[in-house]
Structure 1
Amino acid sequence: MCKEAAMPKPINKQQLLDEAQKKYEALERQFASLTPEEMVRPEVIGTWSIKDILAHLLEWQKMLMDWYEAELRGETPAVPAEGYNWSQLPALNQAIYERCRDTALDDVRSQLDASHKHMLEVVASLSEEELFTPGRYAWIGINTLASYVDSCAGDHYRWALTGIRRGTKVWSGETPAAKPVHRAAAGTSKRVRTKAPKNPGGTALLIIDVQRDLFEKTTPIYEAEKMLANIRLLVDKARAAKIPVFYVQHSNDKELVEETDGWKLHPALTPLPTDHFIHKHHGNAFEDTTLKAELDALHVHHVVVAGLVTHGCVQATCNGAHELGYDVVLVKDAHSNYDAKARDVIDEWNEKLSHGIVQLQAAADVDFQSAQALRQPAISPPTGR
């Protein structure tokens, strides 16, 4: 991410409002001198024009306000949208693009301006508790309303600003065009992109296969609640540090069949629109997926790994990341399995992988703010306890 994106997340209402307004004004300045023809010129981010980018921002803000207002009416909103779950963001973003691509430029700009003002007016009317209390609204899970506002305003504006800067430089020949790194799905805010700026510390969080069906085995996941709590802690830390979060989901023809309820992420996990999703068919999350390309586009050199299962996809992904040259941190108390001797399996693989493949750290000790800290060996012995 750029230096601006490395700023801490807002911790009070005024910071939230100020950050959103600051980034919106910066975005307006970026395209203020462009002609109408340049505003609709394609291939600024992926295949999108600046108008398409602005329409994308508009639609996500409208969805956020729809979710909030539906709950005020006593209704249960469809989040993120009717017929879509959080693992289907590429398809949802493509649908948004197709729905809005023929909207006139002037209409998009005027509607986005009105949407931005309305969203900030709503935020200004709410208390600190309403904005920053986790789980205050049913549809946000364990997150806060402020985190969704920051995602649909601050984060989205930063993404758009960076993409427009790079795209217009390509027009002028100041920088070579970068190839999209994700499968063609024109219309994703975080998945179809030109070469991205560096993120703080060059780090990403990989959450492996925390899917519903794995919690329905005859032998239950060992210490499932503890593992889920530690994964949520990691996600909160990553978001606070502006570190990208990747959710990896496995599928095959017999179990974890794609798009079934059992294939979906565990309900304890509540991704944001700016998170990333990788669908895989092998144990190693890098095999036959776009994971490496997406990490490279974000200038990631260090990965922090958690999830399921220890002796399967977790160890395979740790080994795969190491073979590709990434520094790997395995969070020793944020991975598990459903083996009859699950504790022994965790200890065994923590011990094996700690010899030259990963650094072991407890969830409480992971510091996404410091890449150097992520490279340090765990202080405690590699027992996994």
Structure 2
Amino acid sequence: MPAAINRDDLIAATELEFAKLDKLLSSISEEQALYLEPDDQQSIKDTIAHRAHWLSLFFVWYESGLAGEDVQTPAPGYKWNQLKAYNAGVIEASRDQSWEQVLGDFHAGHDKLLDFIKVSDDDLLYTPKLYSWMNNWTLGRWAEASGASHYRSAAKYVRKLIKQQK
């Protein structure tokens, strides 16, 4: 699916991909969400906790940039080629959370992202190099990567894990 190029497309992609993932998640029991095959890196719960974290990370970047702070993506002390290590820490930090709490955080993050997109205009979302931390991506592209694109990849991974459990 090509990246959205305007606010309306971004809203549509975000809503569509969330609806698909949310429908899939609504059929999953806590036992299924916590299940981890010996060879798997993460459970369904871990996957959704990861996505919830990245939704919140988008707002850390945006709000820190607005405040004039130095924004380090993906996170202070990490480079993009170190995502595996960074994400392992994210998953470890969510180990004590319940499935219900992870789902709640994920839904809250989605709602915040969608509300942000809806009140933003194309100038904010799709002006290149609007903020120095964005590199060559627009804010809308960062929002899509944290939202719709992550929802799509999570749904694919969750379906794989469900299939393995059968």
**Bin for the TM-score computed over the shorter chain:** over 0.9
Structure 1, unpaired ranges of 5+: 1-6, 173-385
In structure 2, what is the equivalent of residue 310 of structure 1? none
Of 92, 100, 107, the residue aligned with 1:113 is 107
Of 28, 32, 39, the residue aligned with 2:26 is 32
Runs of 4+ in 1 over 2 A off after TM superposition: 43-47
Deviation at 1:16, TM superposition (A): 0.4
TM-score by length of 1: 0.42
In structure 2, what is the equivalent of residue 274 of structure 1? none
TM-superposition CA deviations, 1:241-266 (whole Å, max 9, x none): xxxxxxxxxxxxxxxxxxxxxxxxxx
The verdict on how the C-alpha distance between 1:87 and 1:155 changes in structure 2, with shifts beyond 3 A counting, is same
TM-superposition CA deviations, 1:82-128 (whole Å, max 9, x none): 11111211111111111112211111111111111101111112110
Greater Rg by CA: 1
Within 5 A, what are the aligned runs for 1:55-70?
Answer: 55-70=49-64
Distance 1:45 1:58 in 2: 24
More helix by share: 2
TM-superposition CA deviations, 1:331-382 (whole Å, max 9, x none): xxxxxxxxxxxxxxxxxxxxxxxxxxxxxxxxxxxxxxxxxxxxxxxxxxxx
Query: Size of the alignment, in residue pairs?
Result: 166
Deviation at 1:78, TM superposition (A): 2.4
- Does the alignment pair 1:134 with 2:121? no
Within 5 A, what are the aligned runs for 1:296-307?
Answer: none
Fraction of identical pairs, as percent:
31
Contact persistence 2:65–2:71 (CA under 8 A):
yes
In structure 2, what is the equivalent of residue 311 of structure 1? none
Deviation at 1:44, TM superposition (A): 10
TM-superposition CA deviations, 1:208-234 (whole Å, max 9, x none): xxxxxxxxxxxxxxxxxxxxxxxxxxx
Deviation at 1:46, TM superposition (A): 3.1
In structure 2, what is the equivalent of residue 156 of structure 1? 150
TM-superposition CA deviations, 1:46-105 (whole Å, max 9, x none): 321111010000111111111101111221222211111112111111111111122111
- Does the alignment pair 1:100 with 2:94? yes
The verdict on how the C-alpha distance between 1:63 and 1:92 changes in structure 2, with shifts beyond 3 A counting, is same
- Does the alignment pair 1:169 with 2:166? no
User: Which stretch shows the higher mean deviation, 147-156 or 50-59?
Assistant: 147-156
- Does the alignment pair 1:75 with 2:62? no
* Structure with more contact order per residue of length (Cα contacts < 8 Å, sep ≥ 6): 2
Contact persistence 1:42–1:48 (CA under 8 A):
yes
The verdict on how the C-alpha distance between 1:45 and 1:164 changes in structure 2, with shifts beyond 3 A counting, is farther
In structure 2, what is the equivalent of residue 145 of structure 1? 139
Contact persistence 2:44–2:161 (CA under 8 A):
no
